Amino acid sequence: MLLTEIMEKLDAKKERMIEIRRYLHENPELSFQEEKTATYIRDFYKNVPVDAVETDVGGQRGIVVTIKGAKPGKTIAIRADFDALPIQEETGLPFASKNDGVMHACGHDAHTAYMLVLAETLAEVKHQLAGVVKVIHQPAEETPPGGAIGMIKAGVLDGVDAIFGIHVMSTMKTGNIYYRSGNTQTGRAYFKLHVQGKGGHGSSPHMANDAIVAASAFVMNCQTIVSRRINPFDTAVVTIGSFDGKGQFNVIKDAVTLEGDVRTMSQEAQQIVEEQVRQFAEGLEASYGVKATIEYENDYPVLYNDPEITEQVRKALESARIPEVDAVVEAEPQPPSEDFAYYLKEKPGCFFYVGAMPRSKEWYPHHHPKFDIDESSLIICAKAMATVVASYCGA
């Protein structure tokens, strides 16, 4: 049986997955700068019997590997990202990052490691596959506009019937696989507001126009968007993460720049937040006599898992009875955003999660300098995605 053979081959390569993950963890590279990582991925396939390896896809170091089955069938895509974050690692691991200020603090090293070994294994059994499997190795998931857009424009989804992705989660129990149908992860927006007032002496506010006061009013007004403009059964978050108000204690600030982050779980909420942010910025000019310049950009969309395909994934995972898996669990909506959502706007598919919470030590969330995963999650990822591939491309 195809899936049984794939599982046996993956079991034999379990330690190799971990070795690859640790190498990548030691050698992280930031979004849009993943030159050595892309070379490593490309070189991995030199002696693997795949049918095609495309490099520099979208001009962003993306790599697409094609595996053609012996029989006609559907074309599916499976994706793993490979960029790291601008974080100084504090794990103390023997394979900690060698690159100062750069760390795989989100698990993309694990994604790439399992995907490489899985792709190799699928190529070894392609005579038993029906259809085509496109393996997408994507750069720059972490930094808007993200690597997915460029790869989509380059045609990676041409002819694809469905697309699938996995994210390891340090916040979820190792041994569980998690899924969710419909809107699953938030969409994201970014804004920057520059408030130009008139500087002056702290003793004479009547001769100045305080940019800090005006900008502070904007910050407080933004806190009413979620509480007074968003449906209580919808989801939205507005965060002001940067407020450039530092100056001299007795000097009235001439200008202030602040930056904000927006997360929403629906198109309607996304539009409401943008409208309100723009209105509050414009209102500063009338209320405070300042000049307000707003930049607002919607980037990652809401991640939407196709209900029918997600149900097929759930059934396949439950039926496979993967030995390392304790349960297949419905997940709560996830607050972070994910550029896999761009693929799902173009093609139906499912993005699901594999628990990777360390069992023997304290766990830390993604993007934390002490982030780590339970490496037994790698074999679960490989077997879970293999199960999905077999359910679509089993001859």
Residues recognised as catalytic: 83, 141
Which residues, at least 6 apart from 30, have a Cβ–Cβ distance to it below 8 Å?
A: 83, 84, 85, 86, 102, 143
Name the one residue in this structure whose structure tokens are 């100084």: 88
Strands (E), the chain: 52-57, 62-68, 71-81, 130-138, 162-169, 176-179, 182-185, 187-196, 200-201, 236-244, 251-252, 255-264, 291-298, 303-305, 327-330, 349-355
In degrees, to the nearest 5, what angle opens at C-alpha 164 toward C-alphas 161 and 169? 170
Identify the three-state secondary structure at position 254.
Answer: coil
Residue 394 has what DSSP assignment? B
Residue 134: exposure state from Cβ atoms within 10 A (0-12, 13-18, ≥19): buried
Helix or strand or coil: residue 225?
Answer: helix
Q: Are 114 and 100 in contact, with CB atoms under 8 Å apart? A: no
